């Protein structure tokens, strides 16, 4: 009787362990980066040392103002960087940096607030 009770618990543990592992793998596979429009933008990606960064934005080459900003090696990993001097709406999307896109970085560009009217510059409406 004890054997009948242990087996379902083991299957339950395996089912929950697999789903939580799959969720954590999905979380690691895509990171989110939110930046204000006009602010400097830097996208970073970790690679194996033998890999070379091949940046893509939604499967296409990134905009021309996005420039590789060097790579730094350490602990068997390579960190590749891509930079733009000012974030724009066209920079939003999913970036990948390797031929096998195991790691994705979703960039969200928050719209700049509308400029406030300067005191004394508003004109009255004509009726």
CATH code of the domain containing 67:
2.60.40.10
Write the DSSP symbol of residue 41.
E
Q: Is 73 within the bounds of a domain?
A: yes
pLDDT at 112 over 70: yes
Distances (CA, A) of 37 to 26, 63, 93, 122: 28, 15, 14, 26
Q: How far is CA 46 from the centre of its chain?
A: 12
In a domain, 103, yes or no: yes
3-state secondary structure of 113: coil
Q: Which domain covers residue 104, as residue numbers?
A: 29-110
In Å, how far are 21, 36, 60, 62 from 55, measured between CA atoms? 28, 22, 9, 7
How many structural domains compose the chain? Answer: 1
pLDDT value of position 14: 36
Query: Which of helix, strand or coil describes residue 78?
Result: strand
Taking the C-alpha atoms of residue 62 and residue 95, their distance in angstroms, rounded to an integer, is 8
Residue 39 belongs to a domain:
yes
Burial grade of 97 (CB within 10 A; 0-12, 13-18, 19 or more): buried
Q: What pLDDT does 9 receive?
A: 39
Q: What percent of the chain has pLDDT above 90? A: 43
Condensed to tens digits (0 to 9), the pLDDT of residues 29-82 reads 789 999 999 999 999 988 888 888 899 999 999 999 999 997 777 777 888 999
- Report the residue count for the chain: 127
Q: Is residue 8 part of a domain?
A: no
pTM for the whole structure:
0.65
* Residue 98 covered by a domain: yes
């Amino acid at each position: 009787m004890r054997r009948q009770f242990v087996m379902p618990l083991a299957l339950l543990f395996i089912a929950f362990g697999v789903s939580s592992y799959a969720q954590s793998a999905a979380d690691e596979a895509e990171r989110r980066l939110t930046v204000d429009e006009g602010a400097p933008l830097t996208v970073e990606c970790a690679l194996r040392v033998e890999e070379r960064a091949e940046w893509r934005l939604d499967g296409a080459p990134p905009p021309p103002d996005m420039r590789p900003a060097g790579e730094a090696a350490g602990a068997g990993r390579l960190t590749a960087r891509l930079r733009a001097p000012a974030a724009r709406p066209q920079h939003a999307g999913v970036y990948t940096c390797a031929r096998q896109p195991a790691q994705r970085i979703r960039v969200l560009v928050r719209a700049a607030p509308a400029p406030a009217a300067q005191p004394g510059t508003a004109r009255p409406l004509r009726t």
